[in-house]
Structure 1
Amino acid sequence: MFKLSVNLTRSASHYIKRTMSSQEQDVLFETLNNAGIITLNRPKALNSLNTSMVTKLLPQLQEWESKKTLVIVKGAGDKAFCAGGDVKAAIDKVEGPRFFYTEYNCNYLIGKYKIPYIAIINGITMGGGLGLSVHGRYRIATEKTVIAMPETKIGLFPDVGGSYFLPRLQVNLGLYLGLTGDRLKGWDVVKSGIATHYVPSKRLYELEVLLSRCTDEVEVDNLLNKFHEPSEQFSLSDNIKHINYCFAASTIEEIIERLQKVQNDWSEKTLKTLSQMCPGSLKITLRALQRGAQLELGQCLKMEYRVACRATENHDFPEGVRALLIDKDNNPQWKPKTLAEVTDDYVESYFKKLPHDRELQFFDSKL
C-alpha cells in the first residue's frame, strides 16, 4: 500500500489551486513532477470535445512528447472522461470537417506516442472519448466507467480510429459494439480489451501523483500493475459464442438472419437495437470495420475522414442529430429508409477519395 507524503499534499494543493484558477478554459494543461497532465474541462457538457479543445491538444501533446516522462489525460468532474465529440457542431459542412481533421490528427499522434500515454477513463467514455484514450498505451477503467460507440444511432459511424481498434477486439466483439452501440461498464471494459487496467475511483488521485514521479516506462508499468485489481466475470460471457457467430457474417442482412436463429433474450434485444439504427450507417459501419481490419491506424483515419466528410454533406447524420439531440422527437426519417434500399453504390460513395486538397494530411506528413 502506498502512502501520501507531505510533499505530495503540497504539490497537490498547488495543482488544485492552479486548476481552479483556470476553470473557464475548456482544456487544462498542468505539469506535476515528471508528468504532463491534461484535464478535459467541460464537465457540464460531460467533457465532450469541440474544435477549440482538439486545436489546443494537438500542439501540447507534440511538445510534451519530447519534454515529459509521461502524459496523463483525464476528465473534469466524476461523471465523464469524455462523452464524445460535439456532434451538434460536427454536422456543419464547414465546421464538421475542420473538427474531424484536427481530432483525427490527435488520434494518430496518440497511437504513435513515444512516451507513456495514460488515459483515466473514469465515467462516461464514448465516441471521441475513446479516440483520446484507446490508442494510447494505458487505459484505466474504474467502477464508474461506461464505454460505447453509439454513432449508428445518429446516422454516423464509429470513427476516431474505430475502424482500427474495433475489428481487433476478440471474438467479433468490436463489430457487435460498433453496430449496436452497446455499453460496457467497469470491469467489462478491461475484459473486452478496451482498458488495460482497473483501479477503483477512490484511488485515482493517489495513483496520479505517484505516476507523476515515475522516471521511465518500467516504473509506470510496475505502478499500474500494483494498483490494478483482479477481474470479475465478463457480463457478455454467456453470449460470446453467439456474438462471434452472428457478427462473423459478411453483411448486415446475414447478421440479422443469424441473430434470428439464436432465439434468446440477448438476440431478441440485439435485433430490436439494430432495427432502431440508421440503415445506411449500419452498412457503412460494417464496410469500414471490414476494411479497417487490414489497415494501419493512419490509413484507417484517412478512410474515416472521407466517410465523415461525406456524412456532413448527406442527409442521415444531420437528421439523426436533429431527431435525437436537437428536437429530441426520437423519430429520425432516414434516407435510405430500409436496409434493402441501401445499395452498394450508396455505401461506396462514402469511401471515395476526396479532392486532393481536402484529403486528411497528418502533421508529420512529408507532403
Structure 2
Amino acid sequence: MASFSSDHHDHGNPEILVQENNPFIRTLTLHQPKKLNVISNPMIFRLFELFLNFEHDAFVKLVILKGSGKAFCAGGDVVYVARHLYNVNLRPTLNFFKIRYTLMYFLATKTVGMISFLNGITMGSGAGISIHGSFRVATEKTVFAMPEPVIGGFPDVGSFYYVSRLPGFFGEYLGLTGARLDGPEMLALGLATHYVPSSNLGLLEEALIRKLGASSTNTSSTDDYAIISAILDEYSEQPAPKTKSAYHYMDVIDKCFSQSTMEDILSSLENELATIINITDHHEWLSSAIQSLRQASPTSLKITLRSIQGGRRLQGVGECIVREYRIISHVLHG
C-alpha cells in the first residue's frame, strides 16, 4: 500500500479527537455532531494519516472509533460533491471518491485491531469506515442504512462485497430499498459483531483500556484478539429482532429479490402484495419496500442490483473498490 499524504490535513483537526489511553490503545472520535459527523476530505486525510501511523507503531494494539452526538457517521460530504457537479467540475469530485476509496481499502487490509461503536446514525461512509474493522458494536440507538439510490447514487465504499454476503438475498433488499436496520437486526445479519446497550459503552471502553493495557506487553496479535473478544462478550447482549423486522420476512425477500432484473423484482413484490389476506404487518412491509423502489432512481437501482449480484463473484474487497471507482467514474462522465 502506498503512503498517502496531502497538504489538506491538519494535525490539530478538531473534527477528529484523538485520545491516547495508554501505549496500546487509541480512541478516535468523529467530532462534527451538528453535521452528524459527515466525513469531509480533511477528515479522510486525517484518518488515513492516523491509521497509517498506528499500523507502523509496534505498541498500538487497538483503535476505538466512535462519534459525537446522535450519530456515528451519516456518510460522506454530499454537499461538496453536489457543488462541484453543479459547476461541472469533475476533477475534485473524482478525487473525493478516490481518496475515500483508498482509505476504505486501507482499513480493510490493515493489521491493527479496530472496534467501532455504532451508537447512532451509521450510513454511507459511516458504514464503510466501520464495516471493514475487526469488531462492530451496535446499540439500541443504531440506525444503519444505505440510502444512496434514493438520491441518485449507489452503495459503495466496499459495500457490494459485504452486502452480497448477507444471508440469502437480504443484500439486494437492503441496497435497493435503503431500508433502515436497528442494532438487533445488524447483529442478527452479521453486520454488527456485538450488541451493547449505549449506557454500557463507557464501561466497555474502560475495561478494554484497563485489561488490554495490562496484558499487552507480552502478547501476540492472536492473544490480543482473544482478549478483546472476551471483553466484548462480557458486556454484550443477544436481543432478538423486533416482530415487524424485515429479518422475519427472509422467505419473501429471497423469493422476490432473487429475481435477475429490477422489473422482475418489482413485479414479484407487487404479486406478493396482491395475494396477502389479513396479514397487516406483512402488508405494511411490502408496501413500504415497493414505495421505496418506486421513489428511487431507476438507473441507480439497476447499477446497484447488478453490482450486488456481481459482488458475490469477487475475491476480495480490493476488487470491489476498484469496480466501484470505475462505475462512479463512468457515471460522473455521463
1:29 Cα offset (Å): 2.1
From 36, 41, 62, the equivalent of 2:31 is 41
SS at match of 1:49: coil
1:113-157 superposed Cα distances (whole Å, 9 cap, x missing partner): 212111111100001100011111100001100000000011110
Structure 1 match to 2:301: 282
Asked if structure 2 preserves the Cα contact closer than 8 Å seen for 1:32 and 1:209, the reply is no
Q: 1:256 and 2:266 equivalent?
A: yes
Structure 1 match to 2:87: none
Structure 2 match to 1:106: 103
Which residues of 2 match residues 215-226 of structure 1 at below 5 A? 215=216, 216-226=224-234
Q: 1:307 and 2:327 equivalent?
A: yes
Asked if structure 1 preserves the Cα contact closer than 8 Å seen for 2:54 and 2:112, the reply is no
SS at match of 1:170: coil
From 35, 40, 43, the equivalent of 1:53 is 43
Structure 2 match to 1:86: 77
Structure 1 match to 2:169: 172
Q: 1:64 and 2:83 equivalent?
A: no
Asked if structure 1 preserves the Cα contact closer than 8 Å seen for 2:204 and 2:235, the reply is yes
Aligned-residue Cα RMSD (Å) equals 1.6
Q: 1:125 and 2:159 equivalent?
A: no
Structure 2 match to 1:238: 248
SS at match of 2:66: strand
Q: 1:198 and 2:217 equivalent?
A: no
1:23 Cα offset (Å): 9.3
Structure 2 match to 1:32: 21
From 245, 268, 272, the equivalent of 2:287 is 268
SS at match of 1:184: coil
TM-score between the two structures when normalised by the length of structure 1: 0.77
1:271 Cα offset (Å): 1.1
1:67-115 superposed Cα distances (whole Å, 9 cap, x missing partner): 20111111112x0000000111123322221121111111111212212
1:310 Cα offset (Å): 3.0
1:313 Cα offset (Å): 3.5
- Structure 2 distance, partners of 1:24, 1:98, is 20
What are the ranges of 5 or more consecutive residues in structure 2 without an aligned counterpart?
Answer: 1-10, 85-89, 217-223, 274-282
- Structure 2 distance, partners of 1:150, 1:233, is 21
Asked if structure 2 preserves the Cα contact closer than 8 Å seen for 1:121 and 1:142, the reply is yes
- Structure 2 distance, partners of 1:191, 1:120, is 17
1:24 Cα offset (Å): 6.4
Structure 1 match to 2:151: 154
Q: What number of residue pairs does the alignment pair up?
A: 292
Letter of the structure 2 residue corresponding to residue 171 of structure 1: G
Which residues of 2 match residues 290-329 of structure 1 at below 5 A? 290-295=309-314, 296-314=316-334
TM-score between the two structures when normalised by the length of structure 2: 0.84
SS at match of 2:103: helix
Cα distance, 1:88–1:313 mapped onto 2, change above 3 Å = farther
From 115, 120, 145, the equivalent of 2:112 is 115
- Structure 2 distance, partners of 1:302, 1:243, is 29
SS at match of 1:57: helix
- Structure 2 distance, partners of 1:26, 1:312, is 29
